[in-house]
Copies of this chain bind each other. A is one copy, B any other.
Amino acid sequence: MKHKRVTIEDVAELAGVSRQTVSRVLNDRADVAEETRARIQSAIQTLGYSPSLAARSLPQQRTHIIGLVIPYGPTYLFSDPHLLGFICGVDQIANQRGYNLLLSTARDDGTGALSDVYGLSAFERLINTRHIDGAVVVETLNSRQGISTLRQHGYPVVILGYGTDIEQPYTVHSDDRGGARLAIMHLLSLGHQRLGIISGGERTLTAMEERLAGCRQALAEHGLTLDPARVAYGDLTPESGMAATSRLLGCATPPTAIFALNDRMAIGAIQYLHQQGINVPQQVSIIGFDDIPQASICTPDLTTVRQPALEMGRQAGRLLLELIENDAALQQPIVLPTELIVRGSTAPVSRS
Protein backbone atom coordinates (compact mmCIF):
# COMPACT_ATOMS: atom_id res chain seq x y z
CA MET A 1 0.00 0.00 0.00
CA LYS A 2 2.51 2.55 1.09
CA HIS A 3 4.64 3.11 -1.96
CA LYS A 4 8.30 3.29 -1.35
CA ARG A 5 9.04 6.95 -1.26
CA VAL A 6 10.24 8.55 -4.45
CA THR A 7 13.32 10.58 -3.70
CA ILE A 8 15.23 13.19 -5.53
CA GLU A 9 17.82 10.55 -6.30
CA ASP A 10 15.30 8.54 -8.31
CA VAL A 11 14.48 11.57 -10.36
CA ALA A 12 18.12 12.31 -10.88
CA GLU A 13 18.80 8.81 -12.08
CA LEU A 14 15.91 8.78 -14.51
CA ALA A 15 16.92 12.13 -15.92
CA GLY A 16 20.56 11.15 -16.03
CA VAL A 17 21.78 13.98 -13.88
CA SER A 18 22.84 14.50 -10.27
CA ARG A 19 20.77 15.31 -7.20
CA GLN A 20 21.93 18.84 -7.17
CA THR A 21 20.73 19.59 -10.66
CA VAL A 22 17.31 18.29 -9.79
CA SER A 23 17.38 20.39 -6.67
CA ARG A 24 18.20 23.41 -8.77
CA VAL A 25 15.19 22.80 -10.91
CA LEU A 26 13.01 22.36 -7.86
CA ASN A 27 14.16 25.65 -6.47
CA ASP A 28 13.85 27.46 -9.76
CA ARG A 29 17.41 28.46 -10.05
CA ALA A 30 18.79 30.05 -13.14
CA ASP A 31 21.80 28.06 -14.17
CA VAL A 32 20.29 24.93 -15.62
CA ALA A 33 20.26 24.30 -19.34
CA GLU A 34 16.80 24.59 -20.75
CA GLU A 35 16.98 21.15 -22.27
CA THR A 36 18.10 19.54 -19.03
CA ARG A 37 15.41 21.34 -17.11
CA ALA A 38 12.75 19.95 -19.39
CA ARG A 39 14.13 16.44 -19.05
CA ILE A 40 14.07 16.71 -15.28
CA GLN A 41 10.58 18.17 -15.24
CA SER A 42 9.32 15.24 -17.20
CA ALA A 43 11.12 12.79 -14.94
CA ILE A 44 9.42 14.44 -11.98
CA GLN A 45 6.11 14.07 -13.74
CA THR A 46 6.45 10.42 -14.61
CA LEU A 47 7.65 9.46 -11.16
CA GLY A 48 5.09 11.63 -9.44
CA TYR A 49 7.82 13.01 -7.31
CA SER A 50 7.52 15.83 -4.86
CA PRO A 51 10.06 16.86 -2.30
CA SER A 52 9.69 16.00 1.33
CA LEU A 53 9.14 19.00 3.43
CA ALA A 54 10.95 17.65 6.42
CA ALA A 55 14.08 16.89 4.48
CA ARG A 56 13.90 20.23 2.87
CA SER A 57 13.49 22.32 5.98
CA LEU A 58 16.48 20.84 7.69
CA PRO A 59 19.27 22.46 5.71
CA GLN A 60 17.08 25.23 4.44
CA GLN A 61 16.08 26.60 7.78
CA ARG A 62 12.56 27.19 6.51
CA THR A 63 9.49 25.07 7.00
CA HIS A 64 7.10 26.83 4.65
CA ILE A 65 4.57 26.79 7.40
CA ILE A 66 3.20 29.92 8.96
CA GLY A 67 1.41 30.02 12.25
CA LEU A 68 -1.92 31.66 12.91
CA VAL A 69 -2.39 32.22 16.59
CA ILE A 70 -5.84 32.95 17.89
CA PRO A 71 -5.57 33.28 21.64
CA TYR A 72 -9.23 32.63 22.26
CA GLY A 73 -10.96 29.61 23.65
CA PRO A 74 -13.86 27.98 21.84
CA THR A 75 -16.48 29.80 23.84
CA TYR A 76 -15.39 33.10 22.48
CA LEU A 77 -14.35 31.79 19.12
CA PHE A 78 -17.83 30.57 18.42
CA SER A 79 -19.32 33.92 18.95
CA ASP A 80 -16.95 35.80 16.73
CA PRO A 81 -17.44 34.88 13.11
CA HIS A 82 -14.92 37.49 12.29
CA LEU A 83 -12.15 35.16 13.15
CA LEU A 84 -13.22 32.84 10.40
CA GLY A 85 -12.56 35.67 8.01
CA PHE A 86 -9.06 36.05 9.32
CA ILE A 87 -8.45 32.35 9.05
CA CYS A 88 -9.68 32.14 5.49
CA GLY A 89 -7.78 35.21 4.46
CA VAL A 90 -4.47 34.08 5.81
CA ASP A 91 -5.02 30.60 4.47
CA GLN A 92 -5.75 31.88 1.00
CA ILE A 93 -2.53 33.79 0.77
CA ALA A 94 -0.55 30.99 2.33
CA ASN A 95 -1.84 28.44 -0.15
CA GLN A 96 -1.36 30.74 -3.02
CA ARG A 97 2.27 31.22 -2.16
CA GLY A 98 3.02 27.62 -1.37
CA TYR A 99 2.87 27.88 2.37
CA ASN A 100 0.76 25.97 4.83
CA LEU A 101 -1.21 27.26 7.75
CA LEU A 102 -0.68 26.01 11.24
CA LEU A 103 -3.51 27.02 13.50
CA SER A 104 -3.19 27.53 17.19
CA THR A 105 -6.10 28.38 19.41
CA ALA A 106 -6.28 28.63 23.16
CA ARG A 107 -8.31 26.65 25.57
CA ASP A 108 -11.11 27.86 27.77
CA ASP A 109 -10.21 27.74 31.40
CA GLY A 110 -13.82 27.22 32.29
CA THR A 111 -14.61 30.82 33.15
CA GLY A 112 -14.66 31.67 29.49
CA ALA A 113 -11.49 33.66 29.87
CA LEU A 114 -8.22 32.47 28.48
CA SER A 115 -5.89 30.34 30.44
CA ASP A 116 -2.64 32.21 30.42
CA VAL A 117 -0.56 29.21 31.14
CA TYR A 118 -1.99 27.37 28.28
CA GLY A 119 -1.89 30.37 25.99
CA LEU A 120 1.76 30.66 26.64
CA SER A 121 2.44 27.05 26.05
CA ALA A 122 0.65 27.32 22.72
CA PHE A 123 3.07 30.00 21.69
CA GLU A 124 5.90 28.07 23.16
CA ARG A 125 5.03 24.96 21.32
CA LEU A 126 5.28 26.86 18.09
CA ILE A 127 8.63 28.26 19.06
CA ASN A 128 10.08 25.11 20.45
CA THR A 129 9.29 22.79 17.66
CA ARG A 130 10.54 25.33 15.16
CA HIS A 131 7.63 24.39 13.04
CA ILE A 132 6.98 27.78 11.61
CA ASP A 133 8.65 30.50 9.62
CA GLY A 134 6.62 33.25 11.20
CA ALA A 135 3.20 33.96 12.59
CA VAL A 136 0.11 36.06 12.32
CA VAL A 137 -1.28 36.72 15.77
CA VAL A 138 -4.74 37.99 16.53
CA GLU A 139 -4.29 40.64 19.17
CA THR A 140 -6.06 40.09 22.43
CA LEU A 141 -5.57 41.37 25.91
CA ASN A 142 -3.10 38.69 26.77
CA SER A 143 -1.38 38.10 23.50
CA ARG A 144 1.36 40.57 24.25
CA GLN A 145 3.61 38.26 26.17
CA GLY A 146 3.38 35.60 23.54
CA ILE A 147 4.12 38.01 20.75
CA SER A 148 7.24 39.26 22.48
CA THR A 149 8.46 35.77 23.08
CA LEU A 150 7.90 34.86 19.49
CA ARG A 151 9.82 37.88 18.33
CA GLN A 152 12.63 37.36 20.76
CA HIS A 153 13.19 34.05 19.12
CA GLY A 154 13.61 35.78 15.83
CA TYR A 155 10.28 34.99 14.25
CA PRO A 156 8.60 37.56 12.06
CA VAL A 157 5.21 38.39 13.53
CA VAL A 158 2.30 40.25 12.04
CA ILE A 159 -0.38 41.43 14.42
CA LEU A 160 -4.02 41.58 13.49
CA GLY A 161 -4.81 44.57 15.64
CA TYR A 162 -2.97 47.61 16.87
CA GLY A 163 0.09 46.09 18.48
CA THR A 164 -0.46 48.13 21.60
CA ASP A 165 2.58 48.21 23.88
CA ILE A 166 4.68 46.37 21.36
CA GLU A 167 7.67 48.06 19.89
CA GLN A 168 7.94 48.32 16.16
CA PRO A 169 5.10 45.98 15.41
CA TYR A 170 3.88 45.06 12.01
CA THR A 171 0.16 45.49 12.20
CA VAL A 172 -2.96 45.17 10.13
CA HIS A 173 -6.24 46.59 11.29
CA SER A 174 -9.33 48.22 9.98
CA ASP A 175 -10.04 51.89 10.10
CA ASP A 176 -11.93 51.77 13.36
CA ARG A 177 -11.80 55.49 13.84
CA GLY A 178 -13.07 56.27 10.39
CA GLY A 179 -15.76 53.63 10.68
CA ALA A 180 -17.05 55.08 13.91
CA ARG A 181 -17.05 58.46 12.28
CA LEU A 182 -19.20 57.11 9.47
CA ALA A 183 -21.65 55.70 11.97
CA ILE A 184 -22.00 58.97 13.84
CA MET A 185 -22.31 60.95 10.62
CA HIS A 186 -25.09 58.65 9.55
CA LEU A 187 -26.99 59.21 12.78
CA LEU A 188 -26.47 62.95 12.63
CA SER A 189 -27.67 63.04 9.05
CA LEU A 190 -30.86 61.38 10.21
CA GLY A 191 -31.38 64.27 12.59
CA HIS A 192 -30.36 62.56 15.77
CA GLN A 193 -28.75 64.87 18.29
CA ARG A 194 -28.85 62.98 21.54
CA LEU A 195 -26.58 60.05 20.81
CA GLY A 196 -25.81 57.17 23.16
CA ILE A 197 -22.68 55.11 22.89
CA ILE A 198 -22.12 51.60 24.17
CA SER A 199 -18.43 50.98 24.34
CA GLY A 200 -16.58 47.82 25.26
CA GLY A 201 -14.47 49.53 27.75
CA GLU A 202 -13.36 48.00 30.96
CA ARG A 203 -10.40 46.07 29.69
CA THR A 204 -8.89 48.55 27.37
CA LEU A 205 -8.85 47.48 23.77
CA THR A 206 -7.24 49.85 21.36
CA ALA A 207 -9.80 49.16 18.69
CA MET A 208 -12.53 50.34 21.03
CA GLU A 209 -10.63 53.46 21.93
CA GLU A 210 -10.16 54.23 18.29
CA ARG A 211 -13.84 53.88 17.68
CA LEU A 212 -14.59 56.17 20.57
CA ALA A 213 -12.11 58.66 19.20
CA GLY A 214 -13.87 58.46 15.86
CA CYS A 215 -17.14 59.30 17.57
CA ARG A 216 -15.67 62.33 19.27
CA GLN A 217 -14.13 63.49 16.05
CA ALA A 218 -17.34 63.24 14.08
CA LEU A 219 -19.26 65.07 16.78
CA ALA A 220 -16.61 67.75 16.96
CA GLU A 221 -16.93 68.30 13.23
CA HIS A 222 -20.53 69.21 13.90
CA GLY A 223 -19.72 71.34 16.92
CA LEU A 224 -21.02 68.72 19.30
CA THR A 225 -19.38 66.90 22.17
CA LEU A 226 -19.86 63.48 23.63
CA ASP A 227 -22.00 63.66 26.75
CA PRO A 228 -20.35 61.29 29.25
CA ALA A 229 -23.75 60.58 30.73
CA ARG A 230 -24.72 58.92 27.48
CA VAL A 231 -21.71 56.61 27.28
CA ALA A 232 -22.18 53.16 28.78
CA TYR A 233 -19.76 50.30 28.93
CA GLY A 234 -20.31 46.65 28.18
CA ASP A 235 -18.05 43.65 27.74
CA LEU A 236 -18.87 43.01 24.08
CA THR A 237 -21.55 40.39 24.79
CA PRO A 238 -25.21 40.81 23.84
CA GLU A 239 -26.15 40.60 27.50
CA SER A 240 -23.94 43.52 28.39
CA GLY A 241 -25.50 45.38 25.48
CA MET A 242 -28.91 44.92 27.04
CA ALA A 243 -27.73 46.15 30.41
CA ALA A 244 -25.99 49.14 28.91
CA THR A 245 -29.08 50.07 26.92
CA SER A 246 -31.14 49.96 30.06
CA ARG A 247 -28.73 52.37 31.73
CA LEU A 248 -28.70 54.73 28.78
CA LEU A 249 -32.46 54.95 28.64
CA GLY A 250 -32.59 55.65 32.33
CA CYS A 251 -30.58 58.84 32.19
CA ALA A 252 -31.95 62.35 32.30
CA THR A 253 -31.80 62.99 28.56
CA PRO A 254 -32.07 59.55 26.98
CA PRO A 255 -30.61 59.12 23.51
CA THR A 256 -32.74 58.87 20.39
CA ALA A 257 -30.06 56.76 18.74
CA ILE A 258 -27.50 54.34 20.12
CA PHE A 259 -24.19 53.40 18.56
CA ALA A 260 -22.94 50.13 19.98
CA LEU A 261 -19.27 49.65 19.30
CA ASN A 262 -19.78 46.07 18.23
CA ASP A 263 -22.64 44.18 16.63
CA ARG A 264 -23.19 41.74 19.42
CA MET A 265 -23.92 44.49 21.89
CA ALA A 266 -26.04 46.21 19.28
CA ILE A 267 -28.11 43.09 18.93
CA GLY A 268 -28.42 43.01 22.71
CA ALA A 269 -29.65 46.58 22.57
CA ILE A 270 -32.30 45.69 20.02
CA GLN A 271 -33.40 42.76 22.13
CA TYR A 272 -33.70 44.91 25.20
CA LEU A 273 -35.71 47.56 23.41
CA HIS A 274 -37.90 44.86 21.93
CA GLN A 275 -38.58 43.51 25.41
CA GLN A 276 -39.47 46.96 26.63
CA GLY A 277 -41.88 47.43 23.78
CA ILE A 278 -39.80 50.22 22.34
CA ASN A 279 -39.85 50.27 18.59
CA VAL A 280 -36.61 50.08 16.60
CA PRO A 281 -35.96 52.17 14.58
CA GLN A 282 -39.07 54.37 14.93
CA GLN A 283 -38.44 55.32 18.53
CA VAL A 284 -34.75 54.56 18.88
CA SER A 285 -32.21 53.94 16.16
CA ILE A 286 -29.48 51.39 16.67
CA ILE A 287 -26.22 51.05 14.81
CA GLY A 288 -23.51 48.49 15.34
CA PHE A 289 -19.97 47.78 14.24
CA ASP A 290 -18.45 44.73 12.51
CA ASP A 291 -21.18 43.41 10.23
CA ILE A 292 -21.26 39.90 11.55
CA PRO A 293 -23.59 37.53 9.68
CA GLN A 294 -26.21 37.79 12.39
CA ALA A 295 -26.49 41.50 11.67
CA SER A 296 -28.25 40.90 8.40
CA ILE A 297 -30.80 38.48 9.73
CA CYS A 298 -31.95 39.91 13.01
CA THR A 299 -35.15 41.89 13.22
CA PRO A 300 -34.89 44.63 12.26
CA ASP A 301 -31.72 43.98 10.32
CA LEU A 302 -28.89 45.96 11.74
CA THR A 303 -27.32 49.06 10.29
CA THR A 304 -23.64 48.66 10.95
CA VAL A 305 -20.07 49.37 9.92
CA ARG A 306 -18.40 46.58 8.04
CA GLN A 307 -14.88 45.44 8.67
CA PRO A 308 -13.26 43.55 5.82
CA ALA A 309 -12.20 40.52 7.85
CA LEU A 310 -11.21 38.37 4.89
CA GLU A 311 -9.14 41.12 3.38
CA MET A 312 -7.50 41.81 6.72
CA GLY A 313 -6.44 38.20 6.91
CA ARG A 314 -5.07 38.35 3.41
CA GLN A 315 -3.11 41.50 4.01
CA ALA A 316 -1.67 40.06 7.19
CA GLY A 317 -0.66 36.95 5.28
CA ARG A 318 0.96 38.96 2.54
CA LEU A 319 2.86 41.12 4.96
CA LEU A 320 4.11 38.13 6.86
CA LEU A 321 5.37 36.40 3.74
CA GLU A 322 7.08 39.59 2.74
CA LEU A 323 8.80 39.62 6.10
CA ILE A 324 9.78 36.00 5.82
CA GLU A 325 11.06 36.08 2.31
CA ASN A 326 12.62 39.50 2.13
CA ASP A 327 13.41 39.94 5.75
CA ALA A 328 11.98 43.42 5.70
CA ALA A 329 8.89 45.35 4.79
CA LEU A 330 7.41 48.74 5.17
CA GLN A 331 7.14 49.35 8.88
CA GLN A 332 3.78 50.99 8.80
CA PRO A 333 0.35 49.85 9.90
CA ILE A 334 -1.84 48.55 7.13
CA VAL A 335 -5.21 50.14 7.63
CA LEU A 336 -8.19 48.77 5.77
CA PRO A 337 -11.24 50.84 5.02
CA THR A 338 -14.54 50.28 6.77
CA GLU A 339 -17.88 50.68 5.15
CA LEU A 340 -21.27 51.84 6.35
CA ILE A 341 -23.99 49.27 5.75
CA VAL A 342 -27.37 50.89 6.09
CA ARG A 343 -30.16 48.50 6.98
CA GLY A 344 -33.34 48.65 8.93
CA SER A 345 -32.33 49.59 12.45
CA THR A 346 -31.78 53.28 11.82
CA ALA A 347 -34.38 55.87 10.83
CA PRO A 348 -34.84 59.62 10.98
CA VAL A 349 -35.40 60.96 14.46
CA SER A 350 -39.06 61.07 15.43
CA ARG A 351 -40.81 64.39 16.02
CA SER A 352 -41.93 63.71 19.52
Measured CB to CB, the residues of A under 8 A from B are 1-3, 50-55, 57-58, 63-65, 68, 73-74, 77-79, 81, 83-85, 87-89, 91-92, 95, 100-105, 107, 122, 125-126, 128-131, 153-154, 238, 267, 271, 274, 293-294, 297-299, 310
Please judge, given known A-B contacts A293-B79, A297-B298, whether A54 and B50 are in contact too, CB under 8 Å: no
Please judge, given known A-B contacts A101-B103, A102-B65, whether A50 and B81 are in contact too, CB under 8 Å: no
> A84 to chain B: which residues have CB within 8 Å?
74, 77-78, 81, 83-84
Task: List 8 A-B pairs, minimum CB-CB distance, nearest first.
Answer: A50-B128, A74-B88, A54-B57, A2-B154, A53-B129, A103-B103, A294-B294, A101-B103
> A2 to chain B: which residues have CB within 8 Å?
153-154
Most buried by B among A57, A102, A105: A105
Bound-state CA distance A73–B63 (Å) is 25
Chain B residue, CB-CB nearest to A264: B297
Known contacts A53-B129, A91-B103, then 20 further A-B pairs from the complex at CB < 8 Å, ordered by chain A residue: A54-B57, A74-B84, A78-B85, A81-B84, A83-B84, A87-B103, A91-B105, A92-B107, A100-B102, A100-B104, A100-B131, A101-B102, A102-B102, A102-B103, A238-B297, A267-B297, A294-B297, A294-B298, A298-B298, A298-B299
Task: State whether B54 touches A58 (Cβ < 8 A).
Answer: yes
Chain B residue, CB-CB nearest to A238: B297
Most buried by B among A54, A64, A68, A299: A54
Partner pick for A50 among B79, B85, B129, B293, CB 8 A cutoff = B129
Q: How far is the CB of A217 from chain B (nearest CB, A)?
A: 31
Task: State whether A271 touches B294 (Cβ < 8 A).
Answer: no
Task: State whether B125 touches A95 (Cβ < 8 A).
Answer: yes
> 15 A-B residue contacts at CB 8 Å?
A3-B153, A3-B154, A52-B129, A53-B63, A53-B129, A53-B130, A55-B58, A74-B88, A74-B92, A83-B84, A95-B122, A100-B125, A274-B299, A294-B294, A294-B297
Task: State whether B74 touches A63 (Cβ < 8 A).
Answer: no
Q: How far is the CB of A15 from chain B (nearest CB, A)?
A: 19
Please judge, given known A-B contacts A50-B129, A84-B84, A131-B53, whether A91 and B104 are in contact too, CB under 8 Å: yes
Bound-state CA distance A122–B92 (Å) is 11
